[in-house]
């Protein structure tokens, strides 16, 4: 990011150069985000053994259970904020 040294007016060339630099930065960040997304959401490798398959299923089930319980607790807490106070 090379900004012109405190000019009062920008020329078309300055604006074009800045635009190209920012476009390159955005493209680089898009590539990083794309790579991270695919690394996170890549399909799992097939299980090598029956025990590994069972453990993977158990872990998935526990993650779903934890998510549901967290959602229920959050819902109860949010609901209490919007409920009218009874005297």
Q: Are residues 57 and 76 in the same domain?
A: yes
Q: Are residues 38 and 53 in the same domain?
A: no
Q: Are residues 53 and 76 in the same domain?
A: yes
20-24 — which CB contacts under 8 Å span 24+ positions?
A: none
Q: Are residues 56 and 30 in the same domain?
A: no
pLDDT in tens, 56-79: 899 999 999 999 999 999 999 888
In a domain, 59, yes or no: yes
pTM greater than the 0.85 cutoff? no
Q: How many domains does the chain have?
A: 2
| Cα angle 75, 79, 82; round to 5 | 150
Domain extent at residue 52: 48-87
Distances 53 to 27, 59, 66, 75, 77 between C-alpha atoms, Å: 39, 10, 20, 33, 36
- Residues of the chain falling short of pLDDT 70: 1-8, 84-87
């Amino acid at each position: 990011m090379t900004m012109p040294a405190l000019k009062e007016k920008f020329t078309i060339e300055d604006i074009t150069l800045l635009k190209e630099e920012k476009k390159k930065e955005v493209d680089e960040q898009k590539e990083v985000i794309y790579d991270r997304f695919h690394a996170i959401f890549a399909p799992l490798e097939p299980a090598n053994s029956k025990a590994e398959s069972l453990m993977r299923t158990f872990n998935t089930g526990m993650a779903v259970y934890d998510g549901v319980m967290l959602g229920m607790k959050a819902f109860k807490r949010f609901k209490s904020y919007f409920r009218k106070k009874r005297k």
